[in-house]
Amino acid sequence: MTKLLQEAFTIVSMNFSQKEQERFAHLIIENIGRLREFLEEEFEERSFDRAAVETLKSPKIQNMLGRAAKKYKNQRDSSIKLQ
pLDDT at 62: 92
Q: Look at residue 61 and give its three-state secondary structure.
A: helix
Please write the tens of the pLDDT for every residue from 44-57. Answer: 999 999 999 999 89
- 41 CB neighbour count, 10 Å cutoff: 10
Contacts of 62 (CB under 8 A, 6+ apart): 56
Please write the tens of the pLDDT for every residue from 18-66. Answer: 999 999 999 999 999 898 899 999 999 999 999 999 998 999 999 999 9
Domain ranges of the chain: 1-30, 32-83
Q: Are 16 and 24 in contact (CB under 8 A)?
A: yes
pLDDT at 83: 67
* pTM tops 0.85, yes or no: no
- 24 CB neighbour count, 10 Å cutoff: 14
